[in-house]
Structure 1
């Protein structure tokens, strides 16, 4: 008979675990497994996420601010342009354009101010306009060439000069503006200028057609042929002419003199007729008349060449009045000096002002479109 099971044996705990039960144990070298809470609270990763968010937010805000500023500026500019196109100008200022096209031809823009003066706009803010015509009162007696200012001694009415063209004189590669220069021809002598240039192209014509004017324009723009044409015209026609110079910034007579002297000396080296002592004396007299002080902007310097080539230099306050008062500061009688000085603006490979030369040629072309002798009676 099997032995009976004692009740106390059922209550005693087992001394061994069952063979199929595994107990998790941690040894010395085993890594501690992170729990879920620690993983979610990784501070470094949270800080990196916050930093990236702030950087992206700042970049988007800055881009929005820049885009908004650009849109505001562009909208304001478009609005200004629209208002400028549609507004009615009752009291308009002097226009900036110096030429306009009429019937396929370029003509100088001429405006009449409230005082009835005929003005040609320059496109510059300092010297806004040049007079279309001006009267130059020349001395009737010989003047000492000692460089001192003398009182103006003039004939009764003066000689009327008509503007041919103008332009800005600039220096250095950045286009540093120095002065505006305008070329005038005596109104009574324009017919001589017309006749000489027209006969050069067509000896039988009294005016030029479009193709002939283009031929003349190319000849005057050519460095060699243009210099030859102007040189012969100055020698042979006896046209009285004036260069009107007005600084657009404060300068002095010495700077102006240095520019004139360099131009004349450069051209005189190529002319064998300018190597004698008389020409050297004329250069000394020319330099002496510029031994003066400052010349303020908007003041006026006139270089006048008479029918015999004598050079007279006059100084004025820059008034637009037809009969503005000017003072004579010197005279040089040698025709060669004034001719070389004139060529410095009219022709050659290097001129004092290329815009002035181009504008002067356009003015000459305007004369060529009219029959000889009719420009003086032209109604603007």
Structure 2
């Protein structure tokens, strides 16, 4: 009798694999059906002929406890789902195939995202690396004397500015940087550090043609300075401009450097600039104390009051200014033009919104003459080609508000001429371009605005007229 029961027991345990898991079958998910299944299965081994002491224990995977209804069968913790699945069960096989496919698809998505990020990061890194800077500052520069690679950094005396050797005297905030002089050709030029190795220095003073010269000049202008031996007694009618402040224009969240921009003011107009800034804070003062200087800084950085201050100063026409722009990488005039035009468009939109808010029918920028002036400004840069790294673009604004655009390739003494690209008479164009750097909530270069504000506060902290001989 016992020999006949053994195959039945073995067959019963093997047939158990043909049962569909209650946790995986939607028909057996209710607790009542699950309990019925457990009771039926538990009684299969019960028989009046069976010996309870010799009856085989239920398999380790079997449990009479009902799994919770919200149990996840794919978690692998349910004993009923831990047993082997019937390979002939098409529902279970399809579910396993879907899970396997989803697993591989998820891995493929992660791999694709990782590949895209890696390629993008590599491209941005290569785009931002300047090979000239790596050669100069990375220690792989050839020594002309020895004909070998020199592994140390270049000395300050080996730097040059427009073909003139750079000399550094002192250290820290009190150091003085000059180019030329010391036995070199031409007059000595005092320099200011810009904060980027692509364009390391800006001159503290520059010499530009007067308004009458640019208005009647041909397509090229002489580049000699006022105190240069080739221009004795200023026969070329040039004017001296002093640096007010500078900064680096960057784009995108990666802070990619585009160009270094500095604002220059005609040296003879510094007193008028001082008077205007001082009267903004204290109408009867001749200089500002530290507390008043902080108030001036705050107003010049405020989006609303900065527009009032600079708008009044530019409309007054008592100060001639110029922007000096030097690209830190190869670019073109179309890129520069688009940046200025976007600034003009943004300012006109702000004027339109302000007019609507005030209930006015129009504003000063909605007439046809302004549209023609914008078109003329765009035309100055049409077909001009590229602006290579180190070239110089000058935006010169005279007292009447007209803007002249000058260009030089920045090669120093090898280039004796400055190209005159054109002139726009409408003062609103220059005013909006200037305001795009100096006033409002969003400016083209926040670093340049802060640099100009620091220069303005420094001038306002000195007695009127004294800053012309003491330039910071």
Counterpart of 1:283 (choices 374, 379, 383) is 374
**Aligned positions of 1:212-223 closer than 5 A:** 212-223=292-303
User: Compared with structure 1, are the counterparts of its residues 153 and 113 closer, same or farther at alpha carbon in structure 2 (3 Å cutoff)?
Assistant: closer
Deviation at 1:269, TM superposition (A): 2.3
Q: Which has the higher contact order (CA 8 A, sep 6+)?
A: 1
User: Compared with structure 1, are the counterparts of its residues 90 and 173 closer, same or farther at alpha carbon in structure 2 (3 Å cutoff)?
Assistant: closer
Verify: 1:301 aligned to 2:393, yes or no. yes
Q: Which runs of 5+ in 1 are unaligned?
A: 1-88, 103-108
User: Compared with structure 1, are the counterparts of its residues 369 and 91 closer, same or farther at alpha carbon in structure 2 (3 Å cutoff)?
Assistant: same
The corresponding residue for 1:152 is: 221
CA distance in 2, matches of 1:299, 1:206: 40
Detail structure 1 runs of 4+ shifted over 3 Å in the superposition: 89-96, 99-102, 141-144
CA distance in 2, matches of 1:130, 1:348: 26
The corresponding residue for 1:20 is: none
User: Compared with structure 1, are the counterparts of its residues 259 and 331 closer, same or farther at alpha carbon in structure 2 (3 Å cutoff)?
Assistant: same
Q: Which one has the largest radius of gyration?
A: 1
**Aligned positions of 1:82-101 closer than 5 A:** 91=157
Q: Which runs of 5+ in 2 are unaligned?
A: 1-154, 160-165, 182-187, 224-234, 352-362
SS in 2 for 1:224: helix
Deviation at 1:268, TM superposition (A): 1.6
**Aligned positions of 1:108-187 closer than 5 A:** 110-115=176-181, 116-138=188-210, 140=213, 142=215, 150-152=219-221, 156-187=236-267
Report if the CA contact (8 A) 1:112-1:118 is conserved. Answer: yes
Report if the CA contact (8 A) 1:152-1:326 is conserved. Answer: yes
SS in 1 for 2:364: helix
CA distance in 1, matches of 2:441, 2:214: 38
Report if the CA contact (8 A) 1:193-1:239 is conserved. Answer: yes
Deviation at 1:157, TM superposition (A): 3.3
**Aligned positions of 1:209-288 closer than 5 A:** 209-271=289-351, 272-288=363-379
RMSD: 2.7
Deviation at 1:174, TM superposition (A): 0.6
CA distance in 1, matches of 2:412, 2:270: 22
User: Compared with structure 1, are the counterparts of its residues 319 and 365 closer, same or farther at alpha carbon in structure 2 (3 Å cutoff)?
Assistant: farther
SS in 1 for 2:219: coil
1:40-86 deviations in whole A, cap 9, x for unaligned? xxxxxxxxxxxxxxxxxxxxxxxxxxxxxxxxxxxxxxxxxxxxxxx
User: Compared with structure 1, are the counterparts of its residues 202 and 160 closer, same or farther at alpha carbon in structure 2 (3 Å cutoff)?
Assistant: same
1:299-326 deviations in whole A, cap 9, x for unaligned? 00000100000000000122678x9742
In the alignment of these two chains, the number of paired residues is 279
CA distance in 2, matches of 1:369, 1:92: 37
TM-score by length of 1: 0.68
User: Compared with structure 1, are the counterparts of its residues 251 and 92 closer, same or farther at alpha carbon in structure 2 (3 Å cutoff)?
Assistant: closer
Deviation at 1:92, TM superposition (A): 8.6
SS in 1 for 2:195: coil
Verify: 1:375 aligned to 2:467, yes or no. yes
TM-score by length of 2: 0.55
1:211-268 deviations in whole A, cap 9, x for unaligned? 0000101010111111111111111142100000000000111111111111011102
User: Compared with structure 1, are the counterparts of its residues 379 and 281 closer, same or farther at alpha carbon in structure 2 (3 Å cutoff)?
Assistant: closer
CA distance in 1, matches of 2:156, 2:426: 51
CA distance in 2, matches of 1:176, 1:126: 12
